[in-house]
């Protein structure tokens, strides 16, 4: 006999007892058919009472009590602390809730393990990033104190190098402060309407000397010369575009090009910064916006920067409730694209 799915645990107790009773009655009836009926009728009645009480006691004590403990733990682990009576719950509901709880717990554990691994990596990365300039500063100062201060050939050079490393330390600290405020929603965005094409043109002028050193051309992609108005924080988006454009120059090839293009979509404007530089292998793409993540650590440090630029970029775009993505092919180049809310004409 197949039990219905909406059966409750209390009903299970009764059904099990009935099965045992029926079997006992049949056995007693066979015996009673050849002997005194009333005596065996009394025996059967006592047996029924004993079986019901005993079966219910055993099921409650050794089965349902343990289920209730598990059930209570599941409810205690949830935000909703109201616990229903398990006897009123259907067995399939109890089973599904246990499964859902197990899956949810497994996901939570996996998430915590990922966060813990990220925390360990972050602590190691920031220690390394701070240790390098600090050790350099110490070395320069020790050299100066041990007599180098009076050596005109090295004193000014070492002081300048020490200053460069303190500037790098300051950059790391300031960028970490920016990320912390963005993550804690402590940075208020000043949303206003502006032409992003004009902003890009202005940044081109600021970084053209840097691009000229590598003979890299800066241009708007064909068809992107018209105005595109967005609703965003001007200073924050300037920081985003500057970071992406500077990176395209740093990792671009000699004599290459960097282009900015705009694609109006439904309610948003997609802005893309493309270069024909060294490109990025696919295995690095998912980590590219992590703090201090560097595809080529030795080359990246030579290029300067705190290693937090792309992480800041991602946080700024997310603070605008928008998205940023990257497409890249080694040896061909990279394209960073982000969306912003349009503001009309």
Residue whose token pair is 């025996």: 43
Which tokens hold the place of 31?
């015996």
With bands split at pLDDT 50, 70 and 90, how would you rate the model's confidence at 268? very high
Does the model's pTM come out above 0.75? no
Positive or negative: CA dihedral 287, 288, 293, 299: positive
pLDDT for 299: 46
Closest CA to 251 of 262, 239, 243: 243
Yes or no: say if 244 and 208 are a contact pair by the CB < 8 Å rule. no
Least confident of 22-26, 139-143, 222-226: 22-26
Q: By CB neighbour count within 10 A (0-12 exposed, 13-18 middle, 19+ buried), where does 71 fall?
A: buried
Question: Residue 26: its pLDDT value, please?
Answer: 65
Neighbouring residues of 6: CB distance < 8 A, sequence distance ≥ 6: 90, 92
Q: Kindly report the number of other CB atoms within 10 A of residue 165's CB atom.
A: 19
Domain carrying residue 53: 9-89
Q: Final residue of a domain: which of 155, 183, 211? A: 183
Check pLDDT > 50 for residue 298: no
Query: CA 91, 96, 102, 108 torsion: positive or negative?
Result: negative
Q: How many domains does the chain have?
A: 3
Token couple for 133: 């300039």
CA separation, residue 269 to residues 224, 264, 320, 337, 338 (Å): 12, 5, 13, 10, 8
Does residue 303 surpass a pLDDT of 60?
no
What CATH number did the domain enclosing 127 receive?
A: 1.10.287.130
Q: Does 82 lie in the same domain as 55?
A: yes
- φ and ψ at residue 148, rounded to 5 degrees: -65, -20
Distance CA 137, CA 132 (A): 9
| Last-in-domain residue among 183, 202, 224 | 183
pLDDT in the model for residue 205: 93
Of residues 224 and 273, more confidently modeled: 273
- Strand extents, DSSP E, 44-118: none
In SS3 terms, 113-149 reads as HHHHHHHHHHHHHHHHHHHHHHHHHHHHHHHHHCCHH
> 210 and 245: one domain?
yes
Residue 288 pLDDT > 60: yes
b vs e for 197-211, b when ≥16 Cβ sit within 10 Å of the residue's Cβ? bebbeebbeebeeeb
Shared domain check, 211 and 171: no
Question: Structure tokens of 159?
Answer: 């002081």
Q: Backbone phi, then psi, for 291, in 5-degree steps? A: -65, 135
End position of a domain, from candidates 132, 158, 183 = 183
Q: Is residue 99 part of a domain?
A: no
Residues 318 and 294 in one domain: yes
Q: Is residue 314 part of a domain?
A: yes
Which stretches does DSSP call E strand in 196-314? 217-220, 229-233, 257-264, 268-275
Tell me the pLDDT of the chain averaged across its residues. Answer: 77
In the structure, what pLDDT confidence band is assigned to residue 2 with cuts at 50, 70 and 90? Answer: low
The whole-number pLDDT of residue 203 equals 95
261 in helix, strand or coil? strand
- In eight-state DSSP terms, residue 61 is I
Is residue 197 in a domain? yes
């Amino acid at each position: 006999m197949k039990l219905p799915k909406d059966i409750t645990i209390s009903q299970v107790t009764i059904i099990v007892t009935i099965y045992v009773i029926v079997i006992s009655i049949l056995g007693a009836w066979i015996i009673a058919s050849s002997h005194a009926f009333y005596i065996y009728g009394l025996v059967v009645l006592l047996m029924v009472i004993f079986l019901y009480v005993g079966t219910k006691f055993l099921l409650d004590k050794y089965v349902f009590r343990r289920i209730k403990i598990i059930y209570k733990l599941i409810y205690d682990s949830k935000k909703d602390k109201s616990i229903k009576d398990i006897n009123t719950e259907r067995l399939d509901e109890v089973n599904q809730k246990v499964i859902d709880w197990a899956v949810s717990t497994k996901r939570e554990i996996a998430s915590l393990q990922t966060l813990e691994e990220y925390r360990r990596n972050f602590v190691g990365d920031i220690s390394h990033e701070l240790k390098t300039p600090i050790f350099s500063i110490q070395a320069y100062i020790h050299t100066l104190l041990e007599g180098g201060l009076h050596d005109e050939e090295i004193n000014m050079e070492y002081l300048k190098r020490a200053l460069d490393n303190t500037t790098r330390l300051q950059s790391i600290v300031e960028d970490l402060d920016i990320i912390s405020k963005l993550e804690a929603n402590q940075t208020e965005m000043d949303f206003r309407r502006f032409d992003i094409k004009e902003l890009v043109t202005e940044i081109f002028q600021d970084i053209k000397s840097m691009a000229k050193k590598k003979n890299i051309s800066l241009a708007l992609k064909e068809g992107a010369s018209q105005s595109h108005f967005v609703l965003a924080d001007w200073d924050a988006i300037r920081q985003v575009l500057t970071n992406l454009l500077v990176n395209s120059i740093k990792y671009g090839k000699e004599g290459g090009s960097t282009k900015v293009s705009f694609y109006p979509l439904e309610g948003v404007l997609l802005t893309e910064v493309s270069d024909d530089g060294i490109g990025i292998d696919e295995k690095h793409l998912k980590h590219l916006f992590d703090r201090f993540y560097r595809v080529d650590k030795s080359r990246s440090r030579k290029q300067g920067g705190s290693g937090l630029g792309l992480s800041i970029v991602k946080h700024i775009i997310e603070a605008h409730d928008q998205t940023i993505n990257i497409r890249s092919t080694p040896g061909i180049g990279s394209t960073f694209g982000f969306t912003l809310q349009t503001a009309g004409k």
